[in-house]
Amino acid sequence: HPSVGFVFTQDQRRVWELAPCQADDSVESHIAAVRERMGALHGERMSLLNVHSSAEYRVARALPDNPEDGMEWDETTKVKIWGLIGAPGVSRSTRANQHLFVNRRPVENKSLNRALMEGYHTALMKGQFPVCCLFLEIDPGEVDVNIHPAKREVKFHHERDVRRILTRSVQETLLEFHQPKTEAKTLGQADEGTVEWDTVDAVTTPDVAVPEPLAAQLELENTESIAALGQGRDGEQMLDSRPALDTQPLQSSSPALGQAEAQPIPLLRVPLRLLGVVGRLYVVLESDKGMVLMDQHAAHERVLYEQMLRRMETEGRAASQKLLLPETVELPPKDAKFLKGTLETLNRMGVGLSDFGERTFMLDALPPFVKSADSRKFVLELVDKLQATGEGVNALRLGEDVIAKTVCRHAVKANDSLREEELQGLVDDLRRCEMPYTCPHGRPTLIEVSYPDLEKKFGRIQ
């Protein structure tokens, strides 16, 4: 209730004094009030993104008037989600800064926590948790509050649908942070109890050339590329030091002094001027708000990752390489039964598995660059991952781990010297990525040091 003021006193010491926020009946004003309250509690400089979406799922109930028909799809339930989530790179080591509300009641629900993690996906480092303050509004009849004596924990009657809707809402918010849509769209209506997922626009093929081994695998066609990253031509000087500065001033896109930013401005949507490289790894750029550092390895990882992922999505299957000597894998009856139903999915991932008996399978192909000394262990790990993902598993998603490991090996490394035009091309390619602010492992690709931060370091302001 941000419209209500609170005073928290502990041991005769006033810890918080939160003034009431002005809010009308619109969702936008409620989000602005929540942003003001989150700033008072967690700090004004936390980058938070507005979330406002809705979706529906169909509900099957027994119709008393038609007992012979049994269960029928007789109505839909609408889920409305609004609030704030952390921008890419904003995370904490615990879930303490996750505030979830269902019909204005603070709740705990493991399925919602997993939906948040799934929504961030590669925008979150391992061991970190998202920051959020989200409000879910749903038909009270779809929520069971009699789970915990304090009514803190809740269960949803259609938990899978609610989880998918929240995951999609977080994903769309993070994607629109870098590439905002011209028109707001709802998440779509679900059929047969599932939520429709919109197809994300394809990533433009980057102009930065890929190292030769990976370029052969990607088979990128009709791409005008510059020289391979880190490989200078004869007579051309590598960019090991600061280039000549461009004297043209950067156009400011920041709000006027004294005005608060309702939404953080993405770093790649403002002009950036290349200054140089520090330690042959960190690219120094200048923006209208301060200094920006780019990790060239993490940035190139993201570019290659989205290239390969887009290729796998368009072709419908991952690259596969035949083994010199096929191997047989025998599994327990339960795992064997499950694996037989997922052979098509595994084949699309580039894992060549075929039925070779009642509980035996033949492994004759693996994705490129995947080395496994123990084939049985490799297959069991894949089975565990498939089982953990559950029904409706996306084969493309399961192949992302392989892609992330592959691009990590072939992206430019620290100490790889790049020319000025190569670095500029890498920045341009990063702008065209769907999620450019983290590498596939969740590490940041860009870090900003604002002018106020620099002035504090030099003692110009307190």
More confident residue, 283 or 190: 283
Neighbouring-strand partners of residue 12: none
Q: Would you say residue 415 lies in a domain?
A: no
* Helices and strands (H and E) in the chain: how many: 12, 18
More confident residue, 239 or 311: 311
| CA 461 vs CA 28, 453, 455: distances in Å | 34, 9, 6
What confidence score (pLDDT) does residue 392 get? 44
Burial class (CB in 10 A: 0-12, 13-18, 19+), 193: middle
Q: Would you say residue 291 lies in a domain?
A: no
Q: What is the tens place of the pLDDT at every residue in 451-462?
A: 999 999 899 887
- What is the helix (H) or strand (E) element at residue 333, kind and residue range? helix 333-340
Q: Would you say residue 277 lies in a domain?
A: no
Q: Would you say residue 62 lies in a domain?
A: yes
Task: Let me know: does 95 contact 113? Beta carbons within 8 Å.
Answer: yes
* Structural domain for 117, as ranges: 46-178
What is the rounded distance in angstroms from the CA atom of residue 153 to the CA atom of residue 144? 9
More confident residue, 75 or 6: 6
Report how many domains make up the chain.
1
Question: What is the average per-residue pLDDT within 418-434?
Answer: 91
Question: What is the average per-residue pLDDT within 300-323?
Answer: 79
More confident residue, 84 or 397: 84
Task: Let me know: does 87 contact 442? Beta carbons within 8 Å.
Answer: no
Indicate the average pLDDT of the chain.
Answer: 76
Which CATH number does the domain housing residue 81 bear?
A: 3.30.230.10
Residue 161: φ, ψ to 5°? -65, -45
Q: Would you say residue 433 lies in a domain?
A: no
Q: Would you say residue 206 lies in a domain?
A: no
Q: Would you say residue 196 lies in a domain?
A: no
Q: What is the tens place of the pLDDT at every residue in 351-369?
A: 888 888 888 988 888 876 5
What DSSP string describes 416-432? Answer: ----HHHHHHHHHHHHT
| CA 398 vs CA 161, 312, 381: distances in Å | 21, 11, 12
Q: Would you say residue 112 lies in a domain?
A: yes
Strand-strand pairing, 132-137 and 98-102: parallel
